[in-house]
Amino acid sequence: MRKLLSQIGESPWLWLSPVLLPFALFLLWPLFEVVRLSFTEWDWFKETPVGLAQYRKLLRDPDFYRALGHTVAFALLVVPSWIILTLAIASLIAPFGAAARKRWTTIFYMTYLVSPVILAMVWTWMLAPDSEGLVNQILAFIGIGPQPWLADPDFALASVIFSTAVTIPGSGVLLYGAAISSLPKELLEAASLEGATPFKRWLRVTVPLLRPTTLYLSVIYTIASFQVFERVYIMTGGGPAGSTTVLVEQIYTNAFRSFDFGGASAQAVVLLVIIAAVSSLQFRAMGDEVQY
């Protein structure tokens, strides 16, 4: 008995179970259920297997392509903006003393702790289409009339993208700051001795050495952009006239308003495949190991 207990205690699965069980329960099982539901037609009383019918229906749905186009546009504009802004801010903070770096990094990281719902509500007020919106009040101060930022299909998506792009993710500032502080100083000193200006040292030495951090943040930000929901749902609800509908908002609408769980599951599976494909391309493009 003692030997058996000793063997059980030495089993790695026993010690991994506190992590593996929640992983299997809250990730693998829901993922399996989504894939299974995508091959069915669900109503309140039964599930009917339909094979690939949900996917064929999805490929013929113009609303799906419109939502996909909005999602891709969102990611293409937001992800580079976040990378550039966080890298620039971290680079500006890096030359400060240790105390100043910690203070400024903490200030920017605090923005990461603010709920996305709160941020969306603040931006909804700022971009209100009447004279009560902060942006329109600023425009009125310089003699420009109020603009329907979130009420006009021509402005709505651009307004949502802009409000997201300028909301700097503090986690990126923190990670870039840590990566910059760990770079080998001798490389920067060698570039300085060669006559490189501070900007050229940053562009030719610092930025290439930060490729692993840039790759990680690019993948994380891309996943977050393709999964955008709160900002669109709160600021526009997908409107006006579907001009800001994105994939996750459409999945939510189909699943919990139209109760089309089979169709929503098929959309979710397609979104998963798209995210995996884009992430794989990013790793192929930027995944080379940096040696220094």
> What are 127's two structure tokens?
């971009």
Dump pLDDT digits (tens) for 26-70: 888 988 989 999 998 887 777 888 889 999 999 999 999 999 999
What pLDDT, on a 0 to 100 scale, did the predictor assign at position 9?
56
Residue type, 178: A
Higher-confidence position of 179 and 13: 179
pLDDT at 292: 47
| φ, ψ (nearest 5 deg) of residue 278 | -65, -45
Per-residue pLDDT of 158-194, as tens digits, reads 999 999 998 888 889 989 998 988 888 888 778 787 7
- At residue 3, does pLDDT exceed 70? no
Q: How far apart are CA 70 and CA 68, in angstroms?
A: 5
Q: Kind of pairing, strands 47-49 and 40-42?
A: antiparallel
pLDDT (average), residues 100-123: 86
Q: Are 164 and 78 in contact (CB under 8 A)?
A: yes
Task: Enter the tokens of residue 43.
Answer: 């109503």
The SS3 assignment for 113 reads coil
- DSSP per position, 24-53: IIIIIHHHHHHHHHTTEEE-SS-EEE-TTH
Counting Cα atoms < 13 Å in the Cβ hemisphere of 67 gives 29
* Ramachandran class of 238: left when φ > 0, alpha when ψ lies in -120 to 50, beta otherwise: left
pLDDT tens digit string along 112-167? 788 888 999 999 999 988 777 888 888 888 888 888 889 888 889 999 999 999 88
Task: Determine which helix (DSSP H) or strand (DSSP E) holds 286, and give its type and residue range.
Answer: helix 261-286
The pLDDT-based confidence of 235 (bands split at 50, 70, 90) is very high
| Separation in Å, CA 134 to CA 122, 137, 139, 158 | 10, 5, 9, 17
Residue 7 — very low, low, confident or very high, per pLDDT cuts 50/70/90?
A: low
Report the alpha-carbon distance of residue 260 to residue 126 in Å, rounded.
35
pTM of structure: 0.88
Q: Which tokens sit at 3?
A: 């030997």
Pick the CATH number of 61-286 from 3.40.50.1000, 1.10.3720.10, 2.30.30.40, 2.40.37.10: 1.10.3720.10
DSSP state of 250: H
- pLDDT exceeds 80 at position 195: no
pLDDT at 270 over 80: yes
Q: Write b or e for each residue in 75-101: b if 16 or more Cβ atoms lie within 10 A of its Cβ, otherwise e.
A: bebbbebbbebbbebbbebbeeeeeeb
Q: Dig out the tokens for 180 from the structure.
A: 């910059």
DSSP-H helix ranges across 113-184: 116-126, 134-141, 153-165, 170-181
